Structure 1
């Protein structure tokens, strides 16, 4: 069998997986955890300037949700991101 075509893909190149996948998964994770956070397309577009989901959540908290407190923020953010990833891959 001879290859007739080869496609290289980077997340978001062939489909808008950020808007239609990752953003949706973040918002579902927030909802499942009882958080009243809802990221809009516009906000998420800004947050994409921060590389990495966990850093993105921390940036959001620092800039837009400064009153949020948690005793173990690093582990809490990691658990949000883990749930988000499990939702995304469903």
Structure 2
């Protein structure tokens, strides 16, 4: 099994986790498009494994490159790429 998703309501509201800054998870030169910045902001809200946000988005040559590291990298990459696309 690659992952499991729990559905329903918890007995408590849970707790907040720290969120990284956009410059910690993205690389871009000057003149970055607004849609790229919005995509990164949305990806930062994505639920990642262990809430580590081990991903990086890079904008160069008018293309977006996404990478992730860690034990759940392929799953995390799929989650954050989806959230990036929704935000962009």
Task: Name the TM-score, length of structure 2 as normaliser.
Answer: 0.39
Task: Name the TM-score, length of structure 1 as normaliser.
Answer: 0.38
Q: Determine which structure has more spread, i.e. the larger CA radius of gyration.
A: 1
Report the structure, 1 or 2, having the larger helix content: 1
Report the structure, 1 or 2, having the larger strand content: 2
